[in-house]
Chains A and B, each alone.
Chain A
Amino acid sequence: GAVVSQHPSRVICKSGTSVKIECRSLDFQATTMFWYRQFPKQSLMLMATSNEGSKATYEQGVEKDKFLINHASLTLSTLTVTSAHPEDSSFYICSATGVEGGDTEAFFGQGTRLTVV
């Protein structure tokens, strides 16, 4: 099946710094990628939807200037958490849609555990 690789899996950073998370579709072209945030024992929260070559669509309440999303190619999307604060500590996960067996499906990355100290 299709594979989505997310990197890094864990990162610790200092308050005020920026962190970049990469999401790559390894064997298919992903026209759409989704970025989620998840707090412990809670559901995934959709942050934004990004389409290759265009600006991301952010969900209500998600700060565009803080969570920068770039989807420059059909295989790579990045999420940059700028000027990170401890409250940004969370689990971030991406998914990418592609065609598998003739059907459009979403494939998920492994997730990134961000800790801001």
Chain B
Amino acid sequence: GQNIDQPTEMTATEGAIVQINCTYQTSGFNGLFWYQQHAGEAPTFLSYNVLDGLEEKGRFSSFLSRSKGYSYLLLKELQMKDSASYLCAAMDSNYQLIWGAGTKLIIKP
């Protein structure tokens, strides 16, 4: 079956670095998405990876290994406003999105 796994919750300190992992199993693969979502708001797009490697966008980076079915989102210089849920989603061969349950990230001062 198709499945996405990511940790339910993580805690980190302001100014530090945190890595949120995601493993996926899909029928075919057309890319891996990361979204950020604050409570009560719509998710916002963070990154899209379809090739192996690291994509860097400011404080956020996303990594993909297709052979391992693995991705991570790296957040640097954490700020209090980064407290949110982070959603991993993989697109299968039919362009269906398979969503993870989300990782709730708690930032402490």
Write the residues of chain A forming the contact surface with B, with a CB cutoff of 8 angstroms: 1, 9-10, 32, 34, 38, 40-44, 46, 49, 91, 93, 95, 97, 103-106, 108, 110-111, 113
Q: Is the CB of A105 within 8 A of B96?
A: no
Question: Which residues of A sit under 8 angstroms from B35, Cβ to Cβ?
Answer: 44
B residues at A contact (CB < 8 Å): 30-31, 33, 35, 37, 39-40, 42-43, 45, 48, 50, 85, 89, 94-97, 99, 101-102, 104
Q: Could you tell me the distance between the alpha carbons of A9 and B94 in the complex, rounded to whole angstroms?
A: 10
Chain A residues with CB under 8 Å of B45's CB are 43-44
A-chain residues with CB within 8 Å of residue B104 when the two chains form the complex: 103
Chain B positions within 8 Å of A108 at CB level = 89, 97, 99
Q: In the complex, A41→B48 CA distance in Å?
A: 8
Name the A residues within 8 Å of B30 (CB-CB): 40-41
- Shortest Cβ distance from B106 into chain A, in angstroms? 11
A41 to B40, CA, bound (A): 26
Please state if B101 and A43 are interface contacts (CB–CB under 8 Å). no
Instruction: Find B40's partner among A42, A91, A97, A110 (CB 8 Å cutoff).
Output: A97
- Find out whether the CB atom of B48 lies under 8 angstroms from the CB atom of A49: no
C-alpha gap A40/B30 in the complex (Å): 9
From B31, B35, B37, B95, name the one whose CB has the most chain A CB atoms within 10 angstroms. B95
A105 contacts B102, CB within 8 Å? Answer: yes
Complex-state Cα separation, A93 to B96, whole angstroms: 10
With A95-B42, A104-B40, A106-B43 in contact, do A113 and B94 touch (Cβ < 8 Å)?
Answer: yes
Judge whether B95 and A40 touch: CB under 8 Å: yes
Chain B residue at minimum C-beta to C-beta distance from A103 = B39
